[in-house]
Each structure stands twice: as structure tokens, then as C-alpha cells.
Structure 1
Amino acid sequence: MAGDPYSELGVKRDASDAEIQKAFRKLAKELHPDTNKDNKVAEERFKRITAAYDFLKDADKRKKFDRGEIDADGREIFRGGGGAGRAGGSPFGGGGRSTHFEGMDIDDIMGMFGGGARGGSPFGGGFGGAREQAPTKGSDVKIKLDIDLLDTIIGNTRRVLLSDGRTLDVNIPKGSRDGQTLRLKGQGSPSASGRGPHGDAMVELHLKPHPIFRLDGNDLHMDLFVSLPDAILGGKVQASTPDGPVSVNLAKGSNSGAILRLKGRGAYEAKGGTRGDLFAHVVLAMPDKGVDGIPADLKADFTALMERWRDKGGYTPTVTARRK
């Protein structure tokens, strides 16, 4: 990044962090590549304001820059002058003649400072300039992303908006788990110097509760609500699965707490790719309107049957299984 980061963003040197951020966001919206396709000037300007913002939001770098200790690329300012050596102030440690480098050519001498005579000054910008440093990597960007349970089972791609106005498509692999962090290399902030690699995007996944399924390791659990006639007579009933509804066989006389196992209908294991099972916990359910939900021509007979059953002793319900 050449020039002054304050000038790049159009803010004063005493601007607050909030003012710097506001100026950056305004410029980022105007110059973003998505709204300036094939506009190389806007693209280059966007890179410079991003680098300027990354530089100024680093409090330590900003203070050093304001004190004149580093330049806009974050490189240390080399302050030349005598006094580094002996007698006469030569930095090479002699009076008027150096003996330390006798027998060495100029390339060897300059190589000791990390540069070469023919490639320019070892201090990166001429003597009295800044010492050359290796390009630094941009900072990582941390993102929290809410995902659905089905995203981890069938896979999905979710789009997120970054603070700098960029959008990022995040591929959620099968077997992802709550709290897992996905690293997207090169999708973070650009290097402050504009010459180093971008940082990475660190996406932390947060799993939202599902209205039907409950996750337990690689297995899923759910409540399977069945009617009283189906529970007494048995037969095929419909059950929800992550892959869509399926028909399952309900045994005659099934009770609440009975568990039906659907093999291979659970969640994926992250590494091996194997899939767990789905356990459907039977729950007997009356009509939404209670007895009033029974067809009118059956209601009287049903009520009479229940009364005779209760008069003959009925039965005492027991817990047959605990819901997971």
C-alpha cells in the first residue's frame, strides 16, 4: 500500500475508530468488485482502501505510524547517521578503511545484509529508507454461522456477508458438528502491504435445534405420533426422515415408548462417512379435538365401549420406555 492510509480513506489523522470504519464501509460499497465489474481502476482502489483500513484498525501499527516508526506498508523506518562504528563513525567498524570485508566482493558484502548490490539496496528503498521485510499475511476473519441439522446431513452451501462488504459462499460438508470451525484459505483480509497472501476465513458453525429430530452422536431420535386405532390394530404408518417421509410397520398393540429403528437414516460421521440410525419413539395421540374429533356415527359406540372397559377394571398405565 503506497501513500498515507488516512488519505486513502479520506479521514483526518485524529479520526476515531468509528469514523475510520464508517469511511471504509462507504468506500467499500462504492468500489466493491461486484458493483464495478471489469473496472480495474475501482478494483485497485478497493484493494488500497482495504489495506488502509486493515492497517489503521491495528492500534499498535497506527501508533507506530503516527510516531514515524513504520511506513504505510508496516516496515520499520531506518534512521541513518554516524556513531554505529568506531573512530570516524563508520558503520563498518574501522577508522578510514575497512578490513572486515577484505577478500569479499560487493555481492558478498551486500548479501550479509539480506540484499544484493546489483538488486538494489539491502534496506529496501535506498540508504536512509526502510529495511525490506518479507510480505506479511493478511489477518484472519472470524465468522459465526447458524446452520440447520439437515445442512449437516444432506450438505448445503450458505452465503455470508463479511464486514468489508464481500460475500462468501461456505460449503457445509456432511457430518459437520456444532462448534466446528471451517477454515477457508485465502478468504480473509488482504495483506497490509498488498504483496503478501490474504488471511483465512474461520467459520464457526452453530447448530440450530430442529423441530423434529434430535441429534445424539451419529444417531437421530424423533417422536412418532400415532393414532389410537393404528396403535391397537397395527399396520403401516408414515414417519418423517431427513430424506423424506417413509412407511414403517407398527406392531399391533403398540404403546407409547415403543421404539422403531430405521437403519441408515441418521446423521453422517464426519471422517468415515458412515451414517447412523434414526430411532422413532412411538407416542399415542388422541384427535386434536379429543373425543369430539371422533366421527359422529362412531362417537356414541366408542364412548360406550370405553365406559364398559373402565367399569370392568380398565388398566393401570406403566412407563415402558424413557424418551431419549
Structure 2
Amino acid sequence: MKKDFYEILGIAKGADAAAIKKAYRKKAIEFHPDKNPGNKEAEENFKTAAEAYEVLSDPDKKAKYDQYGHQAFEQGGYGGGGHHMNMDDIFSQFGDIFGSAFGGGGGFSGFGSGQQQRRAKGSNLRIKVKLTLEDIVNGVEKKVKVKRKVQAKGVSYKTCSTCNGQGQVMRVTNTILGRMQSASTCPTCGGTGQTIDKKPSEADAHGLIVEEETVSIKIPAGVSDGMQLKVSNKGNDAPGNNSIPGDLIVAIEESEHEFLKREGENLHYDLYISFPEAILGISKDIEAVNGKVRIKLEEGIQSGKILRLKGKGIPSINGYGSGDLLVHVNVWTPKTLNKEQKNFFEKSLKEENFIPNPEKSDKSFFEKVKDMFS
């Protein structure tokens, strides 16, 4: 069973952003590879702390985690889950938080594998993908064309002469307390340890060109409007032989359905029936996401009655089953009548069967609203 993120960082559940950042910095420094060379347990603790911070430092992810726990991110690919990041990803995303404690570069010495410098990571790309309600219920694979920067063919890099491939430069300053040594990111190579040696004429100053690529995006069932998915390594390339591409961030945009209205994992459908249909009862075909569904309306059904069709709503993105389809019955009152029809209803005004007589089991409008929100 996975350990609680708040417990990993040693903070209370109500901790604010500043407390979360402070706690993570403390843990990151404690288990930093430069302080624990060759220690596999420290490496795992370092990654686990990064995973906890990745989720708790993001308000949206934190809210999902507080509500659903680890299951909120078990689907993978659409938020959270830093445990599978490599060390370069962690330093790329969070190195600035604790880098100053280790010379300011955020780089690391590695775990018994010799000297390494921080790998450059390319910038992320962002796109919007519009989905129908059918796409959301069933899950879908979308193919989109993305223009991304990639390293040009024929480009080559050489060791940076400013930092000798270390990615950072050392400075010595004379102070009243003596000589102070500090490190900062190399201004020439940006911390990659490499600069351009040769590049084709069509490449930019970093050896990159723009190419269009078709990217396949697997979208799980149950996503919602505004949710973001991550496609790893489909963002822009970064310069250098040891660099890694950024990610493609996919924002979900939900199209409005003609008949169905979404509320979380439930769907709502307004069914209008005539006065005779309400009196006599009838079977009706109604719109569901994956085709029509036949329901039977009992004799004397009342306007405002809500029929619940179990499991006909939106699947839970966390695998908790599906929501329901709520059918709202509306009895349509005719606005114009012919003389014969009018005479019939005038004669019926004092008929016992036409006098309102709600049963105790018939809930009021306010009780129905209360039930919907509870």
C-alpha cells in the first residue's frame, strides 16, 4: 500500500503551499544524491518525496488527492505520479527548490555511476482537444498534428568551453569573512554542458528546426472539461546530446450534447409527455449516450417525477463504476383547446379524480432538489 503523501513530507493535511514547499526542500536535501552517493534507499526516498511534492504543490492535483487518495492518479498520464520520473525529470522540474544547497545548479553526481550533469529538458507544448459526450463515455484515441521543435539532422555539439562540460561555473568572492566560493548555472550553455559545434543552415541558433508530427493520444473514459492529460516526450526538443524532449499537454474541451446535460458523472434528460400520456401511462424511447433506451411510464405519473437509470451515466475516471441517467418527467399542458375539449375539462373540475391529492410518498420540489444535492 502506498504511503500517504502528507506523511511522506511530514506535514498535516491542511498545510499551505509555503509549508509544503519547505517540507519538500528539507526532505530533498536530506536524501539528495550528493549527500547519499550509492544509497539506493535514499534514491527511492528522494523520488517518493518528489512524487508527493508534484501532487501537493498543484492545487488541482491536491484537491483530487484529498478527495480520492492515490486512486485519483492510478490511470496514469493525466496528472500526478512522479514516482516513475527519472532523476533528470526531478531536477528539471524541482531543482531550483534545493539547488542552492548543492552549488546552485540543481545537478547531481549520480548514484555510484560517475559524474553526470543535469540533462536539459525541452519546453512543453499545449493543445486543446474537443470531445463529444460519446467520446467521454467510451474513451477515444485521437490523432492530432503537432508542430514541434526537433534537433536538425547533421547538428553536432561539443563540450562547453566556459564550464568544461560541468554545466555550472564556480566563482570566488573576497569578503570580510574570507574567500567565499559559489556556483551558478553556466551562462554559455544554460547548464547543459554543451554548445553547438556544427549545424545545417535551416536550423536555429540552438540546432533546432520545426517539424509537423502526428501524435496519437489515448483519452480514458470519464474525463471532464478543463482536465489536462500529459503525453510524455512529445513537446519540443532541447539542444545537446544528452537532452530530453518536453511534454505535450492536452487540455480537454467538452462539446455540449443536444439532449443530455452532464452533472459530474450523472446525466440529465428532460422528457416531455402529453396530458393523456400522463393519465394513461405509456412506453417511451429516450436518448442515452450509446443509443435509445425504452422506459415505461406508469398510469397517473406526475410532472417532476425523476426516473433513475442506473449505470447509464459517465464512467468514473478513477474506476468506481458509472453515474446514472436521470430522466425528468414534464407533463405538457396544452395552451389552446377546442370547444369540445374545453367542455370536457370544465365538467371535470369538480370530479374527485381531478382534485390534487398528493400522497406522503410524493416529494415536494424542494425535497427533490435537496435529494439531488445530498
Which TM-score applies when normalising by structure 1? 0.50
Relative CO higher for 1 or 2, CA cutoff 8 Å, sep ≥ 6? Answer: 2
